[in-house]
Each structure stands twice: as C-alpha cells, then as structure tokens.
Amino acid sequence: MKRSFINQQMRDANATFARHGYVPPPWATWSPAQWDADPARRHFCAEHQMGWIITDFGSGDFFRQGLILLVARNGVAGRAGQRVYAEKAIVMREGQEAPYHYHRAKTEDMLVRGGGSLGIDLVKVDAVGKPIEAPVEILVDGARSTIAARQAVVLTPGESLTLPPLQAHRFYGLPGTGTSLVGEISEVNDDLTDNYFLEPFGPMMIEDDEPPLYLLWRDLAAG
C-alpha cells in the first residue's frame, strides 16, 4: 500500500469524524515532527497500541476488505494501574469488510455512532478456534435473542452489539446506506496476543512514495 493512499484515507477518516461530531485525541493529527518533540507521549502511545491502523488485511483490495481504525484509548494487558478498557473509532465504507476474527480474552461492544448501517456475521469457535456451526445468542442493547450461525445482525446508528470471547465476527458496511462511523468499547485490547483470524493473511507492506501525513501505530512502535 502506498503512503500517499494511506494519507488520503486519513483525510477521509477525519472528514467522517467531523461529519458525525467525533473529536479524536489531539495527537491523532500530529505531524511526525510533533511526535519527535514529545518522545514520552510517543512511547506511551506505542506501548499502549494507540494510534492509526489502516490495513487491507493482505487482500490488495482495500475497498473490498480493509479498515481505517483509530485506537484512541487503551491499557496494557496484565499491568496494574492501567486503564481496564479500550476505545476505538472505525470508518467503514459501503461493501468494505473486516474478515472473521475473534478474541480469547476481551469482551467488546460494537456500536454505530453515525452514518450507514453495519452488518455483523457471527459464529462461535471452540477452545482451539474451530468454528461451531450452532445457534448464537446475541445481546443488542439489552435485548437477547438467538440467531443461526453466520446470520447477519444489522446495526443502525445508535445501536450496539456485545461480543463475548470466542465469538468470531465479520463486519461490513451495508451497501446503499453510506459510510459508517463505528465505535468499539472493550476491555483492554492487545492485537499482538488476542486477535485471531479464521483465515490467515500476510503482512501489509508500505511504499513510502511521499512523507506520512500522520504516523500509523506501526510507525510509532518502530520509532
């Protein structure tokens, strides 16, 4: 993925944030020079896995399978005196998806803050991550129901779905409804140790054809 493309996705994400009244932390729009001037903040965000994540999940087709995500707040798993929660803002375009994945440790809420509707397909997995094609109990804003495995749950703006551990989920922007601003509120998030995909994918390479507009989390961690 070219850095120029990543920069444009960040501009588009900021436009979506503004359209729906979401104000990210000030550091989300810091220049690389501003990060260099505050190494303590850079270390904090890198250690807490906070910052921009833009990926195509190795698909090579970002608009089909991709994600713009900003981790605004997070703790460090297993460390005392830390936040015990994480907060993310996600921009999902119509027809764009994040593939099936699950977590072993954290419970999370997916919520639509504004814009288009979000589809979420669910399937439980066993202790080794094998899908269980059995009915799934869901919790949407306090209302419990049971659906078939991989049946879509549709969230409209203002609605949220609670996802417990070992419940694999694929989510996507529903065609014809517009770009969604999605929020995620969860227990501490650790993508390095608690993010399991049903289908593996390769690393995403970045071609620096222009300087970064803002730094990705991977840039902060590399620094």
Q: Give the closest residue to 153 by CA, choosing from 112, 185, 199.
A: 112
Q: What is the pLDDT of residue 202?
A: 83
Q: Would you mind telling me the total number of residues written for the chain in this entry?
A: 223
**Separation between Cα atoms, residue 79 and residue 158, nearest integer Å:** 33
Q: What is the pLDDT of residue 33?
A: 97
**Separation between Cα atoms, residue 196 and residue 204, nearest integer Å:** 17
Q: What is the pLDDT of residue 223?
A: 81
Provide the β-strand partners of residue 97. Answer: 65, 172
End-to-end Cα, the chain, rounded Å: 20
Q: What is the pLDDT of residue 124?
A: 98
Q: Which pTM does this prediction carry?
A: 0.95
**Separation between Cα atoms, residue 111 and residue 24, nearest integer Å:** 17
Q: What is the pLDDT of residues 168-177, one digit of tens each?
A: 999 999 999 9
Instruction: Give residue for tokens 């991709």.
Output: 66
Q: What is the pLDDT of residue 201?
A: 85
**Separation between Cα atoms, residue 75 and residue 48, nearest integer Å:** 6
pLDDT per residue, tens digit, the chain (223 aa), is 999 999 999 999 999 999 999 999 999 999 999 999 999 999 999 999 999 999 999 999 999 999 999 999 999 988 999 999 999 999 999 999 999 999 999 999 999 999 999 999 999 999 999 999 999 999 999 999 999 999 999 999 999 999 999 999 999 999 999 999 999 999 999 999 999 999 988 888 999 999 999 999 999 999 8
Structure tokens at 37: 């001037």
CA neighbours within 13 Å on the CB side: how many for 160? 15
Three-state DSSP class for residue 222: helix
Listed in sequence order, the residues at least 6 apart from 92 whose beta carbon sits closer than 8 Å to its beta carbon are 67, 98, 116, 118, 171, 172, 173, 179, 180, 182
Instruction: Give residue for tokens 């850095």.
Output: 3
CA neighbours within 13 Å on the CB side: how many for 42? 19
